[in-house]
């Protein structure tokens, strides 16, 4: 890989990220942060996350992972393996002049791409609702925090939250 791979994820205090294939909070500021960190880049996601979003993310090249051969929704690139998704990500980043490839989840895809990630753009939500999808544990010792901003919930946010960027320490 020639470009950094960045995860963009909102996680609760219990590592929860979703329930019944949807988000479990409404935090408008986080949607803006997600956009800022993915716009103009190729974005890799699993089929379940794509179905949960419901449409291709505008202003980005959407790469959707699926092993189903018949899966071919309009407006996205389908990848049948992690290798293919990363290859496509590089190719599309070249065309777009993008500096990074983003990963938008979900749990299954984050877990498989964890060995390759160089940056984790995390929204740490100050709540622990029940869920069925969790962000995988990662070794924080292998990362340094390059950005940390605490936020009190605004009128359109369900909970307080913090934006934290972890960057992998290069050996």
Ligand X SMILES: NC(=O)c1ccc[n+]([C@@H]2O[C@H](COP(=O)([O-])OP(=O)(O)OC[C@H]3O[C@@H](n4cnc5c(N)ncnc54)[C@H](OP(=O)(O)O)[C@@H]3O)[C@@H](O)[C@H]2O)c1
Give the CA dihedral 32, 107, 94, 147, nearest 10 degrees: 50
Does 22 engage in binding with ligand X (CB under 6 A)?
A: yes
Does 36 engage in binding with ligand X (CB under 6 A)?
A: no
Q: Least distance to ligand X from the beta carbon of 79, Å?
A: 7
What are the DSSP calls for 65-100, one per residue?
E---TT---TTSEEESSHHHHHHHHHHHHHHHT-S-
Strands 143-151 and 42-46: unpaired
Cβ pair 125, 11 in contact under 8 A: yes
How far is residue 37's CA from residue 30's CA, in Å, rounded to a whole number? Answer: 10
Among 14, 21, 142, 146, binds ligand X (CB under 6 A): 21
Give the CA dihedral 76, 79, 83, 89, nearest 10 degrees: -10
Among 5, 6, 9, 37, binds ligand X (CB under 6 A): 9
The residues in 109-148 that bind ligand X, with binding defined as CB under 6 A, are 109, 112, 133
33 or 170: CB nearest ligand X: 33
Q: Least distance to ligand X from the beta carbon of 73, Å?
A: 11
Among 3, 4, 15, 23, binds ligand X (CB under 6 A): 23
Over the window 65 to 94, marking each residue x when it contacts ligand X by CB under 6 A and - when it does not, the resulting string is xxxx--x--------xxx------------
Cβ pair 62, 43 in contact under 8 A: yes
In the complex, which residues of this chain contact ligand X (CB under 6 A)? 9-10, 17-18, 21-23, 46-49, 52, 65-68, 71, 80-82, 104-109, 112, 133
């Amino acid at each position: 890989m020639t470009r950094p791979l960045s995860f963009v994820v909102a996680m609760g205090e219990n590592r929860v990220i979703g329930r019944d294939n949807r988000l479990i909070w409404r935090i408008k500021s986080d949607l803006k942060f997600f956009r800022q960190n993915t716009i103009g880049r190729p974005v890799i996601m699993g089929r379940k996350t794509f179905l949960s979003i419901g449409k291709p993310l505008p202003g980005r090249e959407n790469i959707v992972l699926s092993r189903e051969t018949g899966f071919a929704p309009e407006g996205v690139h389908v990848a049948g393996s992690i290798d293919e998704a990363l290859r496509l990500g590089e190719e599309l980043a070249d065309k777009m002049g993008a500096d990074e490839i983003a990963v938008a989840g979900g749990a299954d895809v984050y877990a498989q791409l964890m060995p390759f990630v160089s940056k984790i753009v995390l929204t740490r939500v100050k709540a622990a609702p029940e869920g069925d999808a969790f962000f995988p544990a990662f070794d924080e010792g292998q990362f340094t925090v390059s950005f940390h901003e605490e936020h009190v919930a605004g009128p359109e946010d369900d909970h307080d939250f913090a934006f934290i960027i972890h960057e992998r320490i290069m050996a």
